[in-house]
């Protein structure tokens, strides 16, 4: 028989990051939480949680957490249909959905979709942010139930829905263009002009360079893990970088930013992948994500 009190304790430690916060949510002592998890780990013969600040799940612990996500959704649905099953006087437990998206979607359209969904449901959300080429790994690992991804091939056990195209423009300030590209954008000038890179996974700038110049070019770069920061850094003349059209269209119209090479957008198709086991219960979220994306992104 599954030890659901211990499994719930483990899932709450991972969700909150500490034994103390999990204990508060369960109205028991941290020692009791620790004892439940220790006994569960000994019974299973695996470590579920890496103790630290914050506490994080091991690979096996992540699978347990995702199982508890499914259990939470099922129980929430059951209590809505049969409220007498819930403990008298007990506050309804809020289920947290783990989902993933890329930073540029979060900074342009995704939050609008999620806010519409949470406004009409009792669910809470835990949004993980990763590169659009890597959010699919969160699905494969069972760490999230759904994700915005650049992969059109469905992950095993998932359904995939096209969302549209997120268009990027390579932009820089007029002053930056004068300082670095007075003689035009060439392999030589681009190799000397500072760029902007989100993190080590970010391949947008490299993809644009390859498409425009037909070759790989090494160039100096500022590391800036912020969608909003990319735009501000471009406006401030720190460097050139790929920015979503939704965030720079007005700046381009007003001349505060210039396309590094006019007429060379980079289009990234996006897809919504959702775990098949949760797809029915996440239909409302999928509806908002797909609807908002198709109203915002290019077809």
pLDDT tens-digit readout, 180-224? 999 999 999 999 999 999 999 999 999 999 999 999 999 999 999
The mean of the pLDDT values for the chain is: 93
Q: Give one DSSP letter per residue of the chain, joined into a string.
A: ---HHHHHHHHHHHHHSSHHHHHHHHTS-HHHHHHHHHHHHHHHTS--EE-SSS-EE-HHHHHHHHHHHHHHHHHHHHHHH-GGGSPTTPPPPPPEEEEEE-HHHIIIIIHHHHHHHHHTSS-EEEEEE--TTTHHHHHHTTS-SEEEES--SPPTTEEEEEEEEEEEEEEE-HHHHHHH-TT-S-HHHHTTS-EEESSTT--HHHHHHHHHHSS-----EEE---HHHHHHHHHTTS-BEEEEHHHHHHHHHHTSSEESSTT--EEEEEEEEEEHHHHTTTHHHHHHHHHHHHHHSB-
- Residue-wise pLDDT for 22-55, tens only, equals 999 899 999 999 999 999 999 999 999 999 999 9
pLDDT tens for each residue of 101-148 = 999 999 999 999 999 999 999 899 999 999 999 999 999 988 899 999
Q: Does residue 294 have a pLDDT over 60? A: yes
- What pLDDT is stored for residue 90 in this prediction? 58
Start-to-end CA span in the chain (Å): 50
The domains located in the chain, with CATH, are 1-90 (1.10.10.10), 166-267 (3.40.190.10)
* Confidence bin at 299 (pLDDT 50/70/90): confident
pLDDT tens digits, one per residue of 229-267: 999 999 999 999 999 999 999 999 999 999 999 999 999
The yes-or-no verdict on residue 179 having pLDDT over 90 is: yes
* 51-72 tens-digit pLDDT: 999 999 998 998 898 888 888 8
Give me the pLDDT at residue 267, please.
98
Residue 159 is predicted with a pLDDT of: 96
Query: Maximum Cα–Cα distance for the chain, whole Å?
Result: 76
Residue 195 to residue 191: CA distance in whole angstroms: 9
Stated pTM of the model: 0.85
Q: Write down the pLDDT at residue 141.
A: 84
pLDDT bin (cut points 50, 70, 90) of residue 92 is: low
Long-range contacts of 46-54 (CB under 8 A, 24+ apart): 48/10, 49/10, 49/13, 49/14, 53/17, 53/18, 54/17, 54/18
Cα separation, 298 vs 167, in Å, equals 7
pLDDT of residue 91: 58
Q: Given a cut of 60, is residue 89 above it in pLDDT? A: no
Q: Compute the distance between CA of residue 199 and CA of residue 115 in angstroms, rounded to an integer.
A: 27
pLDDT computed for residue 62 by the predictor: 87
pLDDT recorded at residue 186: 96
Q: What tokens were used for 257?
A: 């930013």
Q: Kindly tell me if the per-residue pLDDT of 177 is higher than 60.
A: yes
pLDDT of residue 85: 78
């Amino acid at each position: 028989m599954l030890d659901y009190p211990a499994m719930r304790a483990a899932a709450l430690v991972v969700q909150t990051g500490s034994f103390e916060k999990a204990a508060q949510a369960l109205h028991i002592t941290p020692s009791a939480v620790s004892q439940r998890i220790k006994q569960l780990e000994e019974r299973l013969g695996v470590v579920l949680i890496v103790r630290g600040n914050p506490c994080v799940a091991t690979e096996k612990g992540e699978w347990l957490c995702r199982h508890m996500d499914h259990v939470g959704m099922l129980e929430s649905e059951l209590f809505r249909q049969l409220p007498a099953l819930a403990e008298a006087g007990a506050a309804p437990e809020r289920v947290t959905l783990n989902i993933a998206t890329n930073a540029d979607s979060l900074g342009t359209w995704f939050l609008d979709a999620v806010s519409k969904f949470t406004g009409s449901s009792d669910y809470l959300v835990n949004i993980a942010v990763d590169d659009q080429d890597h959010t699919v790994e969160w699905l494969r690992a069972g760490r999230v139930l759904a994700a915005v991804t650049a992969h059109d091939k469905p992950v095993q056990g998932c359904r995939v829905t096209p969302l549209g195209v997120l268009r990027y423009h390579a932009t820089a300030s007029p002053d930056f263009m004068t300082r670095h590209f007075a003689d035009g954008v060439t392999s030589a000038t681009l190799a000397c002009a500072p760029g902007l890179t989100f993190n080590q996974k970010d391949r947008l700038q490299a993809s644009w360079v390859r498409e425009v110049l037909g070759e790989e070019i090494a160039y100096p770069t500022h590391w800036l893990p912020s969608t909003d920061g990319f735009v501000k850094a471009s406006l401030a003349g720190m460097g050139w970088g790929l920015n979503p059209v939704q965030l720079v269209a007005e700046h381009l119209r007003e001349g505060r930013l210039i396309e590094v090479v006019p007429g060379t957008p980079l289009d990234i198709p996006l897809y919504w992948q959702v775990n098949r086991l949760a797809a029915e219960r996440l239909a409302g979220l999928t509806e908002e994500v797909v609807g908002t994306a198709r109203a915002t992104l290019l077809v």
